[in-house]
Structure 1
Amino acid sequence: MAEAHQAVAFQFTITPEGIDLRLSYQALSQIYLSGLRSWKKRISRMRNRVIKGVYPASPSSWLFVVIAILATMYMRSDPSMGLIAKIQEHLPTMLSVLVFSTLLWLSLILTLRFCLKLLLSYHRWMFEQHGFIDVLSLPLSPPSQTLVRLLSGRKPLLYSYQTSLPCLPVPPIKDTLERYLESVRPLLSGPGFQRMTVLAAQFENSLGNRLQRYLKLKALWATNYVSDWWEEYIYLRGRGPIMVNSNYYGMDFLYVTPTPIQAARAGNTITALLLYRRVRLPYTVCIGLLLLRVPGTVIPLCAAQCERMFNTTRTPGEETDVLQHWQDSEFVTVYHRGRYFRLWVYKAGRLLSPREIEYQIQRILDDPSPPGPGEDRLGALTAGDRVPWCAVRKQYFSSGVNKRSLDCIERAAFFVTLDDEEQGMMGEDPVGNLDRYAKSLLHGKCYDRWFDKSFSVVVYKNGKNGLNAEHSWADAPTVAHLWEFTLATDAFQLGYTEDGHCKGEVERSLPPPQRLTWDIPVEVQEQVSISLSVAQALADDVDCHVFPFRDFGKGRIKKLKISPDAFIQLALQLAYYRDRKTFCLTYEASMTRLFREGRTETVRSCSNEGCAFVKAVESGEHCRRLFRLAAEKHQNLYRLAMTGSGIDRHLFCLYVVSKYLGVESPFLTEVLSEPWRLSTSQTPVQQLELFDMKNHPDFISLGGGFGPVADDGYGVSYIIVGEDMINYHVSCKHSFSETDSHRFGAQISRALLDLLSVLTPAKTENSQAQDKKQQ
């Protein structure tokens, strides 16, 4: 076989005259090239480590400092104030100068970092302006702009800013309790609110201050006092299925499918993802993933979530799961019709061309071999409960052929599913097909995705694609940045030939993808069936509705000098009130990546001001003043969450400390048990420069969505696309008869139109009379 021949670099035979070596120069050449590329990669990584290690200075600045010190000594001046002379007692003169220059250079770096950290710790600029403010478009004050530009350097890399980012502060417990009580005021009756006020006061005066001291101690010692506990207790310690409950999805273009050929779309998609890992990711600071877009300056964001994007798997445990991350893998794992394949995407260190990957994918599609016993639905283990999956993995996948095949899946760069269905907004029922497309990406058949992988790419039979992402390692904006780049690179950079195939040449001697083999006993097959039944019941209960709102978008909203996010959140409050005739605790995700290792904070969007406006609208009062107050309140809550003064992460950490101390708090227990019946999140568009909306207006992203957080609630994700469209993803559960995703979607559309009519100035009597005269 061709792959066996290429795997042998040389052969030898023993003759009477001695050993006869028969060298394979082609194989040795490939070995040499592979080693050369490997060393180039190592040197590049080492160089990047040095650059980010000395940031905001540069390696060349060290030479400048050495030359400057030598020049001053040549001029018979001692800038070291005697330190060089003391070092000369133990070292030669030149070496003494180098040692002092290096120490001086390191001191300057630490000073610059300290100054940059102080500057980035100042967040009051978010609150300094009045009137309409879009949180993501806030300018710094002019002195801060200049200082940030001076201290940031010109070419930061992925992790350059990490050591300069401030740590997340622990808010005063009094402030947190006051904000909490304010947030639940519109949701509780008079006696209920009075009881909660008493509980809060008792907590503050007794246990609260004790727990707060432990949190402050952790904040002094740890990089971030929230993130490790949040990752462990919110995600990794969950023992139920992560499918639907935790994982989320991202969709393809709404109107366009670049090619109908499944193998070709897979070829370009896989190539784009690997280009992001190799080329784009190390320099993402320069292209916006780690910068808050602020006119005239840069506000760096934490890069910690990027580290585990590829080659990462969540492995099950008895009490808690573990995130395992490996060095860059040169292969992906592909699933098709019940079989698993290892697809090498590099050859001798060279990334295969898109056409070569398409060729390899087509080999998998054409492979007629059937799945082995129990192989086809093996992925259901990752969709069911975690404890049975842990037990089966430990007993049956810890050695032999099963371990080798499982290692291939878990160590792969990512997981690819070649789906045998067609999806997308198509046919005679585009609305229903769009909903089925969302459900397919969220859970599929419950066994044809590997839900433990950091992300799994799905390519459908008609060329549509999408992804399913595991949540514990990162939040949606990080994955959204990756997916934006993938879609744009696929459509506009890599492209396709006229007949829909990938571009590039094919080396026909490529070894075929390797079929993974399994030895799955009856006991494992029985557990697969149990996990599948659990997952299938969960999947069947999910009600998804995806719809584009085209009547207007952020362009019309911003003309009214209103934050688009505040407008949408108030529309959701109005829609929920009309749907359920009450208000509810509302979750909106906000990022805290202005701080080192920051993840998210909750914006409690249901406020007193928002409820007052909704009630006014429902009573027939079109009060713009109440809307302005509600919108400004929402923006203020968003700013507080972004700048470390949120409510829920602080209360969550206080609760964790109480559990470690073995003490019970009625107040914290009640707070942490409150259901989020309306869970919302905005998918940000971060790389507008990659999409040409003027010349290619049909290449519109659908964004992504997630399952409902509460059994009796809604999950709502939205993406603001361009100036004239907002795409919504609504989910709930069929098992609760009072929720319906399609009905709630209609309420959202109606609420958006009603809010616009409230804010649009009515015509005066004179202008109306003039219009009638003209008619």
Structure 2
Amino acid sequence: MAEAHQAVAFQFTVTPDGIDLQLCHEALRQIYLSGLHSWKKRFIRFKNGVMTGVYPGSPPGFMVVVVSYMSYNKYHKLDPSLGMFAKLRSELDVTECSVKIVGGVLVGTGLWITIIFIMRNALKCLLSWHGWMYSRHGSVSLGTRLWMLLVKVFSGRKPMLYSFQNSLPRLPVPPVKDTCRRYLESARPLMDDEQFERMKGLAKDFEKNLGPRLQWYLKLKSWWASNYVSDWWEEYIYLRGRGPIMVNSNYYAMDFLYVFPTSIQAARAGNAIHAIMLYRRKLDRAQIKPIYLLANKVPLCSAQWERMFNTTRIPGLETDTIQHMNESKHIAVYHKGRFFKVWMFYDGRLLLPREIEQQMERILADKSEPMPGEEALAALTAGDRTPWAKARDAYFSRGKNKQSLDAIEKAAFFVTLDDTEQRFVEKNPIKSLDSFAKSLLHGKCYDRWFDKSFNLIVFKNGTMGLNAEHSWADAPIIGHLWEHVLSMDPFKLGYTEEGHCCGEPHPNLPGPQRLQWDIPAECQDVIQSSLTIARTLADDVDCHSFPFNDFGKGLIKKCRTSPDAFIQIALQLAHYRDKGKFCLTYEASMTRLFREGRTETVRSCTMETCTFVRSMIRDETVREERLKLLKEAAEKHQNMYRLAMTGKGIDRHLFCLYVVSKYLGEDSPFLKEVLSEPWRLSTSQTPLQQVELFDLVRHPEYVSSGGGFGPVADDGYGVSYIIVGENLINFHISSKHSSPETDSHRFGGNIRQAMLDILDLFQLDKKAIK
């Protein structure tokens, strides 16, 4: 095989005449080009590190400050060193000109650093003010305009992805009193009078006794650490979980809803993989623009991007760890029970889409059989974590198994060439989308490597999607990558008339490397045990995905209501009709206005929302009264969302107080009870972040289906939704077949009806709905 020869740089034999050395020039050339590529990448990272480290300063700014300072001193004949430089000149016996130049550069550099320090801290103070969030939509006060101008002045020019990290404020620790008060307010609609009085007593006792002591430790951590929540959240919520991460933690993202760029599996994989690698190159070069709010004025934290690629969750006996490599030049590919290592670079450059398609074609054409235990090997990542950790240590810590496992875990990302067909079928929309969602969420339980930061899944008919691990980052981060891929694929990369990637195959490209395994019977038993657990979990998941196209955010805005608040209130109405009761509701919001911020919870089941829902159930309530209650509920929801985003949420603070109590060995009945309450309705909005990439006015068919996740509670629902354009909202619902209380399709019907019923309250022109 050509690739086997080119993998060895030289061969030698010992003869009576000495050593006969045979060099392989092609291999040496590839080594040279690979080294050149690595050094270029190191230089770019070093340069970007310097640029980010001095931001909002810059090298040209440094030159301006130093030259201006030296010119000013020369003109006014000043000695800023107060005679120190003159003394040094006499001691070192150097010319006066040299001393002035060196002294001017040193003092000018100090002045430049001082200016940077002042600008950073001024920007941090400005970004700590969140009054702009309370402005009415469409109107900006004079104070907010002035604040925006100052933010722009102190933000510098041409920021890179990580430029604002040192200027972002730290997440504040809310007062215990405020958190307890807001908790009781959120719990009131879910408790009767007796339960509420009991909980109020527990909260009051905690607030006066144990709470202040725990708060002192949190305050200390908030002064010392970049973020007082994120590291504990990652460790205790994600990495210490010992159950399966498949369904319970991992989430998925879907392809286009109505468009199918090509039906050739290898071609779709070629364009998608190339687009992903281009994104990684932009990320390495810090060429991705920072994410902003408020007309590109308020930057969000970019820390979560750092571990998007070359990252794997490593199982442990008690806690998992996240392994991140600075560099990875290959991907791992799975097809019909076999694993392959595919290099992404040749001749010192990234493979082109047609060349990647060529590699995928070779894998699809490979008819070799899986080795014993290889086909279902990835089921270890789908089952419980402790058996996987023990098996990894016992059977994959040496020899060929370790080398092959390293090839997967150190890959840039994981690709599955799925042998099933999935896509939206207009004649059978419900069944086709439900099947698509289940396949992306868990597949066959052994054909995705659930530990990788993300899996690209390309189906036999050319449809594709993602499955992402949750501990390293939240959904908007992977969503940003996915938007880039979907916009690059049909528009910028494109396909030939036959459906292949543009370009020509490479005549000398070495083929993929088949990974080798030696899996003993004992390990195969562990694999089968994990597969049984994973299949039981997967078979219990009831997925329902549907596009709601009766109306979208365009009409909701005409109702002068926040689209998110509108949908959340509709979910409460739907849930009450579905189960006949209210429940503790989780809505994810982000805290990336702060450094290393991740998420906070909006408890969207409020007293105001419950009052509105009851008015919709009672036939005697007049429309005007329902509208009034709806607006009160929407305003309450918006206010809670603002509080969550600005560090005044409830749940992350209570979680950290609980962690401190465990470290101190203190038992808190209040915290224990609060954190044991199940989230029977867990919701999340998938935001469309890069609107400029998709012209939905001219090409409304290029809409994404969004993504979803598994149910959080055994008797609850998981609901994800994405607002696409002006006239479409896609919903993804999950629950468990084993629960007699839930039915995803029934709940989907209730959501659709609730949306229509709430819109009818506004009595808009029926023509506007069409």
Same fold (TM over 0.5): yes
Q: Distance in 2 between matches of 1:138 and 1:415?
A: 49
Partner residue, 2:636? 633
Aligned position for 1:226: 229
Supply the distance in 1 between the matched residues of 2:748 and 2:661 (Cα, whole angstroms).
40
Which residue of 678, 689, 694 maps to 2:681?
678
The alpha-carbon distance between structure 1 residues 14 and 440, as it changes in their structure 2 partners (threshold 3 A), is closer
Q: Residues 318 and 83 from structure 1, CA distance in 2 versus in 1: closer, same or farther, beyond 3 angstroms?
A: farther
- Structure 1 residue aligned with 2:664: 661
State the one-letter code of the partner of 1:406: L
Contact 2:30–2:348 (8 Å) recurs in 1: no
Deviation of the 1:6 alpha carbon: 3.0
Letter in 2 for 1:448: D
Instruction: Please tell me whether the aligned partners of residues 125 and 169 of structure 2 are also in contact (alpha carbons under 8 angstroms).
Output: yes
Aligned partner of residue 383 in structure 2, secondary structure: coil
Q: Using the TM superposition, give the Cα deviation of residue 22 of structure 1 relative to its aligned residue in structure 2, in angstroms.
A: 6.6
Label 1:84 to 1:439 Cα distance change in 2 as closer, same or farther (>3 A): farther
Match of 1:610 in 2: 609
Q: Distance in 2 between matches of 1:84 and 1:643?
A: 49
1:360-396 deviation digits (Å, cap 9, x = unpaired): 0000000010000010000000000000001111111
Question: 2: CA distance between counterparts of 1:597 and 1:193?
Answer: 35
Contact persistence 1:318–1:387 (CA under 8 A): yes
SS at match of 1:727: strand
Of residues 102, 107, 111 in structure 2, which corresponds to 1:100?
Answer: 107
1:204 counterpart (197, 202, 207): 207
The equivalent of 1:43 in structure 2 is 43
What pairs with 1:114-133 in structure 2 (closer than 5 Å)?
A: 114-127=121-134, 129-130=135-136, 132=137
How far apart in 2 are the matches of 1:413 and 1:338?
20
Letter in structure 2 aligned against 1:235: Y
Q: Which residue of 2 aligns with 1:578?
A: 577
User: Whole-Å Cα distance in 2 between the matches of residues 322 and 601 of structure 1?
Assistant: 23
Q: In structure 2, how many angstroms separate the alpha carbons of the residues matched to 1:368 and 1:753?
A: 53
Structure 1 residue 696 displacement after superposition: 2.0
- Post-superposition Cα deviations, 1:297-341, rounded to whole Å, max 9, x if no partner, equal 411111110000000000111110000000221100000000000
Count of residue pairs the alignment pairs up? 755
Equivalences for residues 238-637 of structure 1 within 5 A = 238-279=241-282, 282-283=285-286, 286=289, 290-292=291-293, 294-295=294-295, 297-426=296-425, 428-620=427-619, 621=621, 622=623, 623-637=626-640
- Show the counterpart of 1:733: 736
1:689-742: CA deviation from partner (whole Å, max 9, x where unpaired) = 111213322111000000010111000000000000000000000010110000
Q: 2: CA distance between counterparts of 1:153 and 1:83?
A: 35
Corresponding letter in the other structure for 1:567: F
Query: 1:772: which partner in 2?
Result: none
**1:773 match:** none
Moved more, 35-44 or 243-252: 35-44
Distance in 1, matches of 2:452 and 2:124, equals: 35
Q: Give 1:7 shift.
A: 3.8
Contact 1:547 1:729 in 2 (8 A): yes
Tell me which amino acid in the other structure corresponds to 1:726. I
Residue type matched to 2:734 in 1? S
Asked if residue 215 in structure 1 is aligned to residue 218 in structure 2, the reply is yes
Q: CA deviation at 1:76?
A: 3.5
Q: SS of the counterpart of 1:743? A: helix
Q: C-alpha distance in 1, partners of 2:522/2:742?
A: 39
Distance 2:169 2:311 in 1: 27
Per-residue deviation at 1:93? 3.5
Between 534-543 and 68-77, report the one with greater CA deviation.
68-77
Q: Which residues of structure 1 form unaligned runs of 5+? A: 764-775
Which runs of 5 or more residues in structure 2 are unaligned?
93-98
Q: Which residue of 1 aligns with 2:96?
A: none
Change (3 A) 1:139 1:687: farther
* Contact 1:158 1:281 (C-alpha < 8 Å) held by counterparts: no
- Counterpart of 1:147 in structure 2 is 150
Summarize the alignment of residues 733-772 of structure 1 with structure 2, pairs less than 5 Å apart: 733-760=736-763
1:535-555 deviations in Å (ceiling 9; x for gaps): 000001000000000000000
Q: 1:312 & 1:730 partners in 2: Cα distance?
A: 29
Taking the aligned partners of 2:609 and 2:102, their CA distance within structure 1 comes to: 68
Identity %, equivalent residues: 62
Name the aligned partner's letter for residue 410 of structure 2: R
Per the TM alignment, residue 97 of structure 1 is displaced from its structure 2 partner at its CA by: 2.1
C-alpha separation between the residues in 2 aligned to 1:118 and 1:100? 27
* Cα-Cα RMSD: 2.1
Cα contact 1:156–1:283 (8 A) shared by 2: no
Deviation, 1:489, is 0.6
Kept in 2: contact 1:72–1:79 (CA 8 A):
no
- The question of whether the paired residues in 2 share the 8 Å contact of 1:126 and 1:138 is answered with no
Q: Which moved more, 1:13-22 or 1:500-509?
A: 13-22
Letter in 1 for 2:2: A
**2: CA distance between counterparts of 1:655 and 1:356?**
53
Quick one: distance in 1 between partners of 2:727 and 2:81?
66
**Structure 1 residues 537 and 610 mapped into 2: Cα distance closer, same or farther (>3 Å)?**
same
Which amino acid in 2 is paired with 1:121?
A: S
Which residue is equivalent to 2:56? 56
Q: Quote the offset at 1:746 in angstroms.
A: 0.2
2:282 and 2:288 in contact (8 A); partners too? no
Q: Does 1:708 align with 2:711?
A: yes
Residue of structure 2 equivalent to 1:191: 194
Q: Which amino acid in the other structure matches residue 409 of structure 1?
A: I
Say whether 1:112 aligns with 2:119.
yes
Q: Which letter does structure 1 place at the counterpart of 2:266?
A: A
